[in-house]
Structure 1
């Protein structure tokens, strides 16, 4: 593992090492590399913006943010983001991390796909979201120099990321489509199943038992 990337040091505390070991046990290389890139890109943005953030908590949030996509942490009724958030909070609690810090990581993971809100919250939440956005959909791509991007990709390769990431997200969404209502996750179902009709808020309002 590369210790430093473009000035960003990969956390090497006992908790950081245990978090990485746990995640690598369940995630494939594509998801694990993506998770570390999310941390590095998020930390780079935090430093560029002179934000004060807890690097270890950001690292744990980044590592666990997609853990809800894997079978071991899958639930039938929760959004995959919440599955990952629950796993991270339990991991931190079991190691004596104070509740406010564990809750902060939970929020960072639970909100990482929510548009328009995380960037106004605490740095660890905002930077987890920012790392996800640049690595998955390219938002903020030009804020990083070619040298920075190349260094991160060399250390944690993307491989066939676009194809593999859409596939794993779609598999998760198709297993529990009811959890995708009102989220970007419904897009994965529509992309794979052209017959799918996304739930409509107006229809739901009209179909309530209220008389008017």
Structure 2
């Protein structure tokens, strides 16, 4: 019993330390500012045509440029792409990827990205679909916007819909790379009254910690 107690306490301690590190290494901003570019984007106008209330946030991590792989700073867009590859091909997405593969990988979805190798090397061009849950719908040099919430095989308005934006930019003034994971979840099928987003509070909190994990493990791909 004493050994079990010690192991349990050690596990709790490690878990608390990990959460503490994630909390210090990343920043969550919610709600998104009124002037956030997402609100004026083509994707938001197209998929949230009713302008329904949303659950929104952005997870941010700042990394000194000295710690970034130097080849990723030579050409605009390389940092964002490699960060995107790190998120989906990284450890943080492994469990969900495996779960979705068991449930949805079929002859109808073989054209999608499923393996770690595919996710870690894709160019993530518009139209790219991964694990029957995310589809690249918009792309700039520093941002990759994906639609989520339901299978991409359903192009129609949905009960569960949303946008997920992965970004990476260089802040020369501070000497840092700024990585971002922006989420915006909403219902697009019908008009929704009120101001409450679709996620209950407890689910929103879990989502934010999950975003922190994706951010941390995805950032490993771009650092030395």
TM-score (norm 2): 0.25
Higher helix share: 1
Higher strand share: 2
Structure with larger RCO (C-alpha < 8 A, sep 6+): 2
